[in-house]
Amino acid sequence: MEQFIKNLPKAELHLHIEGSFEPELMFKIAERNQVKIPFSSVEDLRNAYQFSKLQDFLDIYYAGANVLQTRQDFYDLTWAYLQKAHENKILHTEIFFDPQTHTSRGVPFQLVIEGIIDALNNGRKEFGVSSKLIMSFLRHLSEESAFETLNEALPYRDKIVAVGLDSSEKGNPPEKFERVFDKARELGFLTVAHAGEEGPSEYVWGALHDLNVSRIDHGNRSLEDNDLVALLSDEQVPLTICPLSNLKLQVVKDMGEHPLKLMLDKGLKVTVNSDDPAYFGGYVNENYLAVTKALQLNKDHLYRLARNSFESAFLLPEEKQRYLAILDAYFHNSNRKLSS
Ligand SMILES: Nc1ncnc2[nH]cnc12
Ligand SMILES: [Zn+2]
């Protein structure tokens, strides 16, 4: 099964580029920029990655991002992820970036996005990995700050497919950003939002109704509301599920209790993603493998998850068809080998 997952063609739809910042690269860039990290070694830093809730992680994640200062830094960060993506048989990836994490420290928006875009272009050229960029607003900050960020993005309108919403969920409901999301949609951006990770199922309703999202990031707590489950299933709203993230942030206590299989059984459009792989112990294949082992998933489940990932991507219908044909060929070939 490990081999089947390793070579399974897939898309990744929930990946924070700042969350792919591996300690080794963090130390290298810190040295280059002459910034001090309050840890004596890579191991020391990794040992600090013990979280009991989302906020524990966010505190260390924002501290780590402080090291990033130049266009080259953002290039190196994104390039390192794309190499992992290619190794994980990701054919298409949709990457979140959090501009406010950087602009609030005086790092210009332009330098952040241009470093990322350079690497994405190179990933397309070197690996054939296609990509989209999603600009995420930090929900613990104000509506005004989100509007400022949206304005800064305007020169890059054609490079950003969607806006998203992340950071501290509890106490920062989707409706806080209703007007910014209205404006973003008016400007032609698609919308997504983190909802129902730690926050209640009401936030998933809010993301759907107030922010008009095309996908829900996480959405685990949707299961607490049967009417919501019915709507998500009827409308086939994609959920970008992140199993290792859920375990590390104690959204689930044990992988055996992860609701992913239940969600599939309820007809929800579930995808598997890595969220912040440098902090949560694995890239997308490790996420597939962890749920496969803990929930006894079979190849049909895995095919369904990979299929959902392409179907839920912000790609043109003909691009999706091309990827789905690659996936189908892989799946049929692997079944043929099995029966011969
Ligand atoms: N899992 C997560 N939830 C909310 N905000 C995030 N930012 C990065 N990862 C996140
Ligand atoms: Zn996330």
Q: How far is the CA of 338 from the centre of ligand 1 (A)?
A: 39
Q: pLDDT band for 323, please (50, 70, 90 cuts).
A: very high
Looking at the 3D structure of the chain, how many domains does it have?
Answer: 1
CA of 86 to the centre of ligand 2 (A): 20
Ligand nearest to the CA of 139: 1
- Asked if pLDDT for residue 340 goes beyond 60, the answer is no
Q: Is 55 helix (H, G, I), strand (E, B) or coil?
A: helix
* Alpha-helical segments (H) within the chain: 2-7, 23-33, 42-47, 54-65, 71-87, 99-103, 109-127, 143-153, 178-186, 201-209, 226-234, 243-248, 260-265, 277-280, 284-295, 299-311, 317-339
How far apart, in Å, do the first and last CA atoms of the chain sit? 17
Checking ipTM against 0.95, whether it exceeds it is yes
Rounded CA gap, 209 and 201, in Å? 13
Residue 102 counted as an annotated binding residue: no
Task: Render pLDDT for 108-167 as a digit per residue (tens, 0 to 9).
Answer: 999 999 999 999 999 999 999 999 999 999 999 999 999 999 999 999 999 999 999 999
pTM of the model: 0.98
| Ligand 1 mean position, distance from CA 277 (Å) | 11
Q: How confident is the model over 213-266, as pLDDT tens digits? A: 999 999 999 999 999 999 999 999 999 999 999 999 999 999 999 999 999 999
Query: What distance in Å separates the CA atoms of residue 283 and residue 152, rounded to the nearest whole number?
Result: 31
Q: Which of 179, 18, 15, 13 is nearest to 107 (CA)?
A: 18
SS3 192: strand
Q: Tell whether ligand 1 has an atom less than 6 A from the beta carbon of residue 198.
A: no
Q: Is 225 annotated as ligand-binding?
A: no
Residue type, 214: S
Residue 197 among the catalytic residues: yes
Question: Would the annotation count 166 as a binding residue?
Answer: no
Q: Hey, is 321 helix, strand or coil?
A: helix
d(CA 30, CA 43): 16
Q: Which two tokens stand for residue 198?
A: 């730690």
Q: How far does residue 235's CA lie from ligand 1's centre (Å)?
A: 25
The Cα–Cα gap between 176 and 179 comes to 8
Q: In whole angstroms, give the CA distance from residue 297 to residue 289.
A: 9
Which of 16, 100, 218 best tests ligand 1's pocket when mutated (most atoms within 8 Å of CB)?
Answer: 16
Those residues whose C-beta lies under 8 Å from the C-beta of residue 43, and which sit 6 or more positions away, are none
The span from the CA of 174 to the CA of 76, in Å, is 33
What is the identity of the amino acid at 48? A
Sign of the C-alpha dihedral, residues 114, 177, 132, 16? Answer: positive
Residue 331 domain boundaries: 2-339
Give the number of C-alpha atoms closer than 13 A to the C-alpha of residue 160, restricted to the C-beta side.
Answer: 33
Q: Which two tokens stand for residue 226?
A: 């049967």
State if residue 18 touches ligand 1 by the CB under 6 angstroms criterion. Answer: no
CATH of the domain at 19: 3.20.20.140
Nearest residue CA, atom 7 of ligand 1? 167
Q: Summarize pLDDT for 257-310 with one digit per residue, the tens.
A: 999 999 999 999 999 999 999 999 999 999 999 999 999 999 999 999 999 999
Question: Could you identify the atom of ligand 1 that is nearest to the CA of residue 98?
Answer: 7
Res 339: pLDDT? 61
Pocket test for ligand 1, best of 13, 275, 279 (most atoms within 8 A of CB): 275
At 77-113, the pLDDT tens digits run 999 999 999 999 999 999 999 999 999 999 999 999 9
Q: Which of 309, 239, 279 is nearest to 12 (CA)?
A: 309
Ligand 1 centroid from CA 337, angstroms: 40
Residue of the CA atom closest to atom 5 of ligand 1: 167
Residue 287 contacts residue 244 (beta carbons within 8 Å)? yes
Confidence of residue 335 (pLDDT cuts 50, 70, 90): confident
Q: Which atom of ligand 1 is nearest to the CA of 61?
A: 8
Q: Which residues contact 190 (CB under 8 A, 6 or more apart)?
A: 161, 162, 163, 214, 314
The token pair at 60 is: 């260390």
Pocket test of ligand 1: the residue of 102, 138, 166 to mutate, having most ligand atoms within 8 Å of its CB, is 166
- The whole-number pLDDT of residue 131 equals 98
pLDDT reading at 313 higher than 80: yes
φ/ψ region of 237 (left if φ > 0, alpha if ψ in -120 to 50, else beta) reads beta
Q: Is the CB of 194 under 6 A from ligand 1?
A: yes
With a cut of 90, say whether residue 338 has pLDDT above it: no
